Amino acid sequence: MSAASTWPLRRHGHQRDCGAHGAVRAACTPVGVARTRRRAGKCGLFAHAGRRCRAPRVAAMTSQPEPARTDPSASVPVPASAPAPGSDSDSGSGSAPAPFPGAVPPASLPGAVPAVPGPVSRSVSLDLTGRTALVTGAASGIGRACALRLAAAGARVRAVDLDPEGLESLADEVACEAGPSAPAVDLRLLDLTTPAGLDAAERAADGSDVLVNAAGRQLVRPLEEFPPEEFRAMLTLMLEAPFRTTRGALPGMYARGWGRITHISSVHGLRASAYKSAYVAAKHGLEGLSKTTALEAAPHGVTSNCVNPAYVRTPLVERQIADQAEAHGIPPERVVADVLLADSALKRLLEPEEVAEAVAYLCTPAASFLTGCALPLDGAWTAH
C-alpha cells in the first residue's frame, strides 16, 4: 500500500471530510426539480413519498484500499494533521504554520455561511442518452455532483473512487432520481495513487465519451517540511491519473469522432498560494495537459477544458470555517469574506452543483468550439 493510501479518514458518523457523502436528497424528485439535502442515518437510504427508496446495488466494484474523493476547490490553512484525501480543490488539512493557529471542535453552521440564493437548478439543456461518462472522485463533493448531473442527462456513468459507501450511495441516488429504467452506475473502487489503480483507471476510461477528472486531495505545509512521498502521491493522483484516463479514453473518442474531457482544476491552477506546493504544482500541470490534449484532439471532434473553482461548500470547508470563527471570536461570515474569499469579489462559497452545471455546459453542442480553455468559477479572484 502506498504512503498516500495509509492516511486515516476522519468521520462524523457516515459524514466524510471531503464532499457530500452522507448528505442525501430529502426526496426523490424528477430531474430538474429543486432538491434539498438532509443527513442520512444510513448511507444509501432515501426518503420517497413517506417511505424509504433503496435502489438495487450496482455492478462491478474492483477493490483497493482507502478513499480518494472529490475535492472542493480550496481550503483554509489549518493546524497540523494528516493530509485529508479528497477531491479536487484545496480541502485538506495540513501542518503549515497557519494564519489562524489553534483548532477547536467542529461547530455546526446552519445558514451561517453565505449561500447561493435558492437551489441550484439544472438549467443547461443536455442529452447524453447512449453516451458513457467516466467520473473520478465520484463518491463525494464535486465529483459526485458531476456524476449525478451526467446521469440525469441520460449518460451511463462509470464512477471511480476509493470510498465504497460513497459509491454505493451515489448509485442509490442515481437510481432513486432517475427511476429503475435508468442505466445502472458502474462502480470502480480504485486507488489512483498506485500503479495497479492507474492501470485499471486507464482501462475503465476506454469506451467513455465524457471524461471528468475530479479526484484530488490537499496537504498544507511549508516546502521545507513537505514530505516527498506525499508530494509524489498528490502529483500522481491529480496529474498522472488524469493523463492515464485521458490516454485510455482518446482512442475510442477519436474512433467515434466525438468526446468531451473536463478536468476539475482549481483557481490554484491559475494562481499560487503559500504552503500548497504539491497542489499548485499538480493543478498547473493539469492545465498544460488539458491544453496539449486540446491541440491534439481537435481534428477528431474531441474537446479538452479545465474548470477552475474557488472555495466550494463541503462539510470539511464548513467545519474549518466554524473552527476559525470560534478560535478567533469572529462570526463565520467574516471568516468566509475576510479570509477564504479575501481575493474574491463574490463573498460566498461555490456549490458543487454549480460546478457540475459548468461541466454539463461543456458537453453541449453550443460548447463544441470551446477547447483548450480554463473556465474560472472564482468570483473574480483571478481578475486581480
Q: Is residue 44 in a domain? A: yes
Residue 39 binned pLDDT confidence (cut-offs 50, 70, 90): very low
Q: Which residue has the higher pLDDT, 64 or 215?
A: 215
Average pLDDT over residues 62-72: 42
Least reliable range by pLDDT among 99-108, 196-205, 286-295:
99-108
Q: Which residue has the higher pLDDT, 319 or 123?
A: 123
Q: Is residue 2 in a domain? A: no
Residue 325: predicted pLDDT = 85
Residue 271: predicted pLDDT = 96
- Angle (deg, nearest 10), helices 141-152 and 352-362: 50
Range of the domain at 331: 10-383
DSSP for 205-245? HTT-SEEEE-EEEE----GGG--HHHHHHHHIIIIIHHHHH
Strands (E), 92-183: 132-136, 156-161
Q: Which residue has the higher pLDDT, 163 or 314?
A: 163
Residue 317 binned pLDDT confidence (cut-offs 50, 70, 90): confident
* Phi and psi at residue 224, to the nearest 5°: -70, -15
Q: Is residue 1 in a domain? A: no
CB atoms within 10 A of CB 184: 16
To the query of whether residue 279 is one of the catalytic residues in this protein, the response is yes
The per-residue pLDDT for range 208-234, each reduced to its tens digit, is 999 999 999 888 899 999 999 999 999
Residue 249 reports pLDDT greater than 70: yes
Residue 121: predicted pLDDT = 77
What CATH number corresponds to the domain at position 91? 3.40.50.720
Q: Catalytic residue among 254, 275, 279, 361, which?
A: 279
Residue 148 reports pLDDT greater than 90: yes
Q: Is residue 4 in a domain? A: no
With contact defined as beta carbons under 8 Å apart, do 147 and 20 qualify? no
Residue 35: predicted pLDDT = 36
Q: Is residue 255 in a domain? A: yes
300 class by beta-carbon count within 10 Å (0-12 exposed, 13-18 middle, 19+ buried)? middle
Residue 64: predicted pLDDT = 45
Residue 45 reports pLDDT greater than 70: no
Count of the separate structural domains present in the chain: 1
Average pLDDT over residues 74-78: 38
Least reliable range by pLDDT among 55-69, 127-141, 304-318:
55-69
Average pLDDT over residues 200-205: 98
Residue 178: predicted pLDDT = 81
- Cα–Cα distance for residue pair 127/154, rounded to 1 Å: 6
Least reliable range by pLDDT among 47-56, 159-168, 240-249, 254-263:
47-56
With contact defined as beta carbons under 8 Å apart, do 103 and 326 qualify? no
